[in-house]
Structure 1
Amino acid sequence: MSLRQTLRGTGVALVSPFTSSGKIDYPALESLINYVIKNGVEYVVTLGTTGETPTLSKEEKIDIINFTYEQVDARVPVVVGVGGNNTHELVKDLEILPLDKATAVLSASPYYNKPSQEGIFKHYEVLAAASPRPVILYNVPGRTGRNMEASTTLRLAHEVPNIAGIKEAANNMVQCMHILKDRPDHFLVVSGDDDLVMPQIACGMDGVISVAANCLPRKFTDMIRASLAFDFHKAKTLNDSMLEAYHLLFAENNPAGVKAFLSELGLISNHLRLPMVPLSEELREKVNAYLMK
């Protein structure tokens, strides 16, 4: 089965729950994993940006990956985030991190360095050669400071073995359409923009790696399935009901928004690691009001 079939639908970028002392809250992570799987997600993504990976130690990352494999217990595929702006160090990470049970590796394009398109291409070419699992590109210029253009994505898709897909989060529908128009048949294209994924699926995307699926998994996965079935009347009805939630999730920062939702639902405690701080009280009240509807 190709990656396009295996990862079709909703993937969830899991948060990393913390205790009040700042430690990883593994019982809460277990509850969250069971919650999202029970409510319909097709796969989980661990160590994405939503998991506050810039603040995790290498040892914590290894422990979280292994814990996630154990709790998922092969019920759904697991994708592991391995991204950064030091190509040489990422190659080492690909050798050290436990990736034997991963379906794929998700790797954000280099942040802050602002490489040229050729630099982005060379970066991924090296990572793909080193990775024991298929690599999913991740274009998120709002965080990295540099857009990976459609021509670069397509060049990687057509020319570099082991590049298997992209999570496209440039908030640019025209760029998405260019990728979808010329991608190889095997190449997975998923959204990283929860609020745009319904029309992106109409253009040909295979699904989403979602933040909202942490806290609204049943409604969100139903919306994605309806979209993939081209039942856009049902999909629009569901999507319309979540538009306010999308705004609240990202109004200040991610994952402060989703952690506020999950805390109100009683799934995790509302703790983040600096420089991230909890959602403001004003927005948290709006989160509670939304969930009470």
Structure 2
Amino acid sequence: MNFGRLLTAMITPLTESGAIDWPRVADCMEHLIATGTESIVVAGTTGESPTLTHREKLELCRYAVRQADGRVKIIAGTGNNNTQASVELTGEVASTGVDGVMLVVPYYNKPTQEGLYQHFKTVAQSTSLPVMLYNIPGRSSVNMDVDTMVRLTDEVGNITMIKESSGNLVQVMDLVSRKRKDVAVYSGMDELIVPYLSAGADGVVSVAGHLAGSSIKEMIEAFIQGDAGKAGEIQRRLIPLVHALFMTSSPAPLKYAMSRLGLCEEHVRLPIVSLHQGEKDQVDYVLRSLQISR
């Protein structure tokens, strides 16, 4: 199954009371589809998955599948640091009609490479859905080695995607050269999309895609067509946006930016807090300078 080159890990819009804002979920999805996103990740960490309930995750998957109506693929974030809970959620989301699942490296536990292998193998083998592995050592404190990723993709046929967020281009090149040929590698870092493509990656699972989807799509297409100069120019132009989106705990800056576009409210769930005025001013400055509007 082809999930495309521009995938976006979507926020979960919330009301002031903290409930999921369903009309705004639809608004965000329509905006992403209109600006080039080919697959949407729901209930991922950008969607504040650690503070979503089990029931909310299932409701999000059902709603997203209905709203997408086949126009884009839907990937559900079903990974966490509890293997059995991940197996159970993965099994349940299959009935919602999602097209795949994303499994993040377990956070806090600090598993060994063998622990990572056993964890991902157990969850992936519990489903027939395509599986994306998500390596993000900056958040999980553990880097999944290339040996472990290759071992998993060699032995578990439905592991067909890897979101690689180590920022280590040598690791990316090693992975691309050794992985199973049908496994897609995606950058998980918006500031390194072109370097990752140069290393052999297939696309990006983006956060900035909420605000600059059309530019990111143009950048990827330029690179694929051999215009590395144009791709690099777009990449450099988007760096201030990426820095702004991660100036403090994500997705607080992104939700504020999306609120400025009228697509959602800025509300987040504790322990994440909304931006203070100085941080809002920085985001506003970047949006104005890049002429980002709805």
* TM superposition score category, shorter chain reference: over 0.9
Q: Deviations over 1:227-260 (max 9, x none)?
A: 2333212112211211100100111121012112
Q: Deviation per CA, 1:126-151, whole angstroms, max 9, x where unpaired?
A: 11110230111110111111110111
Q: Deviations over 1:79-118 (max 9, x none)?
A: 1111111111211112222455222111001111111101
Q: Which of these residues, 282, 285, 289, is aligned with residue 286 of structure 1? A: 282
- Would you say 1:133 and 2:167 are equivalent positions? no
Q: Residue 18 of structure 1 is aligned with which of 11, 14, 17?
A: 14
| Residue matched to 2:25 | 29
CA–CA distance in 2 between the matches of 1:176 and 1:289? 33
Q: Which residue matches 1:156?
A: 152
Aligned twin of 1:116: 112
Contact 1:65 1:98 in 2 (8 A): no
Q: Secondary structure at the match of 1:63?
A: helix
Asked if 1:193 is matched to 2:189, the reply is yes
Structure 2 distance, partners of 1:225, 1:50, is 25
Question: Which of 3, 9, 21 is the matching residue for 1:7?
Answer: 3
User: TM-score, with normalisation over the residues of structure 2?
Assistant: 0.95
List 4+ stretches of structure 1 deviating above 6 A. none
Retained in 2: the 8 A contact 1:62–1:98? no
Contact preservation (8 Å) 2:153, 2:180: yes
1:56 corresponds to which letter in structure 2? L
In 2, the alpha carbon distance for the partners of 1:78 and 1:222 equals 22
Q: How far apart are 1:163 and its partner, in Å?
A: 1.4
Listed as ranges, the matches of 1:35-184 within 5 Å are: 35-99=31-95, 101-184=97-180
Distance 1:183 1:229 in 2: 24
Q: CA deviation at 1:281?
A: 1.7
Asked which structure has the greater RCO (Cα within 8 Å, sep 6+), the reply is: 1
The CA distance in 2 between the partners of 1:99 and 1:204, in whole Å, is: 34
**One-letter code aligned to 1:148:** M
Seen in structure 2, the aligned counterparts of structure 1 residues 219 and 99 have a Cα distance that, compared at 3 Å, is farther
In the other structure, the counterpart of 2:268 is: 272
For residues 197 and 164 of structure 1, what CA distance do their matches in structure 2 show?
20
TM-score by length of 1: 0.95
Q: Which runs of 5+ in 1 are unaligned?
A: none
Q: Which runs of 5+ in 2 are unaligned?
A: 290-294
3-state SS of 2:161 partner: strand
Q: Is the 8 A contact 2:76 2:93 kept in 1?
A: no
Distance in 2, Cα, partners of 1:291 & 1:226: 23
What is the deviation of 1:123? Answer: 0.7
Q: Partner amino acid for 1:193?
A: M
C-alpha contact 1:259 1:268 (8 A) present in aligned 2: yes
Partner SS state of residue 22, structure 1: coil
**Mean Cα displacement is larger for which, 278-287 or 55-64?**
278-287
Q: How large is the RMSD of aligned CA atoms in angstroms?
A: 1.2
User: Could you say what secondary structure the match of 2:8 adopts?
Assistant: strand
Structure 2 contact 61–98 (Cα < 8 Å) conserved = no
Correspondence for 1:209 among 173, 193, 205: 205
Deviations 1:135-183 (A, max 9, x none): 1111011111111011111111112222112100011111111101111
Whole-angstrom CA distance in 2 between matches of 1:279 and 1:167? 28
C-alpha distance in 2, partners of 1:105/1:85? Answer: 15
Alignment length (residue pairs): 289
- Superposition deviation, residue 41 in structure 1: 1.1
CA contact (8 A) 1:202 1:230 kept: no
